Structure 1
Amino acid sequence: MSFSGNPGRSYYPAAFCAGLLRAQPMGFYSPQSLVADARRHGVLVREPDINASLAHATLEPDADSTGGVAIRLGLAGVRHLGDDVAEQIVTERQARGPYTGIGDLTGRVQLKKTAAEALATAGAFTRFGGDRRQDVWAAGAAATTRPGHLPGLVPGLDARALPGMTRFEVTAADLWATSVSPDSHPVQFLRELLDARGAITTAALAGVEDGTRVWVGGAVTHRQRPATADGITFLNLEDETGMANVLVSPGLFHRFKQVLRNPAIVVRGVVQIGQGTASVVADQVAPLDIRNLALPSRDFR
């Protein structure tokens, strides 16, 4: 990520990232890429929390995080909520105190079922001790209540025993609900597969000699085909260690057009070192299967 030289990122990485998250949608980088970069700089990022989050990203004291502060994701970034509902949740909490559970929230703030379930999917209720699957079950039931109804009359709040989510499933849930995985990267779950293929990490590209042919894989975060680039398509591949620039010739793009539309790919190509930056000039492309993960790229011309 090309934020090098920015004093905000260098000295206040948590505040810098939180500020960019609050300004979304904007710019070149997605919220997931911004958060992944902050994490690589030692910043801890927390999931949305019904009693800790404001509408947008904020900072929390945390001695284990770079600069002594962590990022808390905001409620407005949760699917199906938006600014108005998020502000309503926060205002009600500030006026009458913290929420004591899922049913207490839906009894005080009118939420659509989709919004309540998305909050549960994002992990916003985990402070109450439930598993996310159980929380989604309970949230759907709780959303049938309306503010002012008598408490304790809604069936289904005590969810039946459900299997817990795997770490991969939690990452998929995070990406679906907020477009951000706070404490992991989806490609890390494919590292064993990439290692078996002989692919190196994007961070390792910096130590590769110019002209070396390598394999590298990751999620496609951007696709660009500037009018001044003679038909060359520029891709950004992101894995758990960083980003790589990939150059795709017009002929290769035509040959692998369908593969290049995948949200994640593995690329073989020749490393090109210029001005201290390593790029990969692709000569072969294959799909990288990341099932059930929402990884939209930003495509520019």
Structure 2
Amino acid sequence: DVAGFTANEADQLRQAMGSKRSAARMQRLKERLYAGMAARGITGAIADEIFDKMAAFAHYGFPESHSVSFAYLVYSSSYIKLHEPAVFCAALLNAQPMGFWSPHTLVQDARRHGVVVHTPDINASADIATLESCADSFGGLAVRLGIGSVRGVGAEVARLVSEGRPYESLEDLARRVPQLSRKQMEAMATAGAFTNSFGDDRRHTLWEAGAHGNNGEHLQGMLGLNSRPTLPGMEPIEEAIADLWATGISPDGHPTVFLREQLAAKGVRTADELAHVPHKDRVMVAGVVTHRQRPMTAKGATFISLEDETGLINVVCSKGCWARYRAVARDASALLIRGRVESANGAINVLAEHISPLFTPAAVPSRDFR
């Protein structure tokens, strides 16, 4: 108003004040601003003060506008995660690859918040992660992993498999979706995708998948699988290993679950127990490595995120500690760490003093130095 700007000119000024190149754009509008203010009797020091204040705001207007946008995204995401955790988890799984957290960590977090996550199923799964009713899951919704989450299947084949549902048997699947290779069918069997629908355990369906793969040209009933061997079923630890290999996700068992008895005997604390450990007390923690980070502002410190079956553990590794245990700290997929608890304002860290490898039943890939 002080410069008599039209609606279009006012919008240009607004954009200039929130632009990444705000200084240059403000200079281009300066002459028009001063002319408009002069026409309304605003000149000299007062006009300079008005322009200087607008130009000063423009220096941080761009990050401020972005911070508002990010704040809205954070608020919306937090609301959905709190009230609809199954929806939140499924949406993030379907948006992969993305972001800081791996699908394995996203699923483990959802499980800790009461969400049931099911393995892929040839007749129950779509090509992507979906929701299904489940009285045992938070909010009555469970997440069903998609066929596309299985190693080596790919989006196009997963779509074809999903569109052809339901299937009566492995032979029916192989005949109707000839694009499925033997390796893809074996990966699906390893993931347990045939167990519920075809009423058989993983080892037997894996054996049959090897015979059915690439056999779409055979006549129905001509594969001669009546003399299949008797195979032992998989133990829970073996199923967890199979899940991690086939999908990168273990819905029913975190790798540290199977080591908890031995770890507890050594005095190793879980992530949720750290909240009850006094500040500066020495502890031992263990978990799979999810991240390694070394921010420019950390003065050489490296931050390691560990995950066990109860949650995440933040570990701070000083420059000297990293140099001392570099090979293990950098390369091991899971770690056993001794250090001191640092607790302040609700944030809990473990300041590492000693680092050794933790040998888990299955490895989970970490996301390092991103």
Q: TM-score, normalised by structure 2?
A: 0.77
The answer for the alignment partner of 2:344 in structure 1 is 274
Give yes or no for the alignment of 1:250 onto 2:322: no
C-alpha distance after superposition, 1:12-67 (max 9, x if no partner) = 00000110000011111110100000000111010000001011110000111100
Contact (CA 8 Å) 2:148, 2:158: kept in 1 or not?
yes
Please report how far the alpha carbon of residue 274 of structure 1 lies from its aligned counterpart in structure 2 after TM superposition: 2.5
The answer for the alignment partner of 1:139 in structure 2 is 209
Which amino acid in structure 2 is aligned with residue 139 of structure 1?
A
Contact (CA 8 Å) 2:293, 2:304: kept in 1 or not?
yes
Give yes or no for the alignment of 1:45 onto 2:117: yes
Please report how far the alpha carbon of residue 237 of structure 1 lies from its aligned counterpart in structure 2 after TM superposition: 0.5
Contact (CA 8 Å) 1:53, 1:72: kept in 2 or not?
yes
The answer for the alignment partner of 2:332 in structure 1 is 262
The answer for the alignment partner of 1:58 in structure 2 is 130
**Residue 231 of structure 2: SS of its match in structure 1?**
coil
1:102 to 156, 163, 170: 170
Q: Which runs of 5+ in 2 are unaligned?
A: 1-73
The answer for the alignment partner of 1:199 in structure 2 is 268
Please report how far the alpha carbon of residue 154 of structure 1 lies from its aligned counterpart in structure 2 after TM superposition: 1.4
RMSD between superposed Cα atoms in Å: 1.6
Give yes or no for the alignment of 1:76 onto 2:145: no
The answer for the alignment partner of 2:66 in structure 1 is none
Give yes or no for the alignment of 1:224 onto 2:296: no
Structure with the greater alpha carbon radius of gyration: 2
Cα distance in structure 2, aligned partners of 1:297 and 1:133:
29
Please report how far the alpha carbon of residue 149 of structure 1 lies from its aligned counterpart in structure 2 after TM superposition: 3.2
C-alpha distance after superposition, 1:198-250 (max 9, x if no partner) = 11101111111111110010110111111221111111110000001000112
**Residue 90 of structure 2: SS of its match in structure 1?**
helix
Bigger CA drift: 75-84 or 269-278?
269-278
Q: TM-score, normalised by structure 1?
A: 0.94
Cα distance in structure 1, aligned partners of 2:305 and 2:83:
26
1:10 to 74, 82, 107: 82
C-alpha distance after superposition, 1:168-227 (max 9, x if no partner) = 000000000000011121111000111111111011111111111100101101111112
Contact (CA 8 Å) 2:316, 2:352: kept in 1 or not?
yes
Cα distance in structure 1, aligned partners of 2:75 and 2:338:
27
Give yes or no for the alignment of 1:125 onto 2:194: yes
Please report how far the alpha carbon of residue 255 of structure 1 lies from its aligned counterpart in structure 2 after TM superposition: 1.4
How has the CA–CA distance of structure 1 residues 27 and 5 changed in structure 2, closer, same or farther, with 3 Å as cutoff?
Answer: closer
1:240 to 309, 326, 331: 309
Cα distance in structure 2, aligned partners of 1:135 and 1:216:
38
C-alpha distance after superposition, 1:115-154 (max 9, x if no partner) = 00000000000011211111111001001311x5311111
How has the CA–CA distance of structure 1 residues 50 and 66 changed in structure 2, closer, same or farther, with 3 Å as cutoff?
Answer: same
Give yes or no for the alignment of 1:24 onto 2:24: no
Please report how far the alpha carbon of residue 294 of structure 1 lies from its aligned counterpart in structure 2 after TM superposition: 3.2
Higher relative contact order (CA 8 A, sep 6+): 1
Give yes or no for the alignment of 1:212 onto 2:281: yes
Cα distance in structure 1, aligned partners of 2:227 and 2:139:
40
How has the CA–CA distance of structure 1 residues 129 and 135 changed in structure 2, closer, same or farther, with 3 Å as cutoff?
Answer: same
Give every structure 1 segment of 4 or more consecutive aligned residues whose post-TM-superposition deviation is greater than 6 Å: 2-5
Cα distance in structure 1, aligned partners of 2:154 and 2:269:
39
Give the total of aligned pairs. 294
Q: Which runs of 5+ in 1 are unaligned?
A: none
**Residue 6 of structure 1: SS of its match in structure 2?**
helix
Give yes or no for the alignment of 1:176 onto 2:245: yes
Cα distance in structure 2, aligned partners of 1:251 and 1:48:
45
Please report how far the alpha carbon of residue 275 of structure 1 lies from its aligned counterpart in structure 2 after TM superposition: 2.6
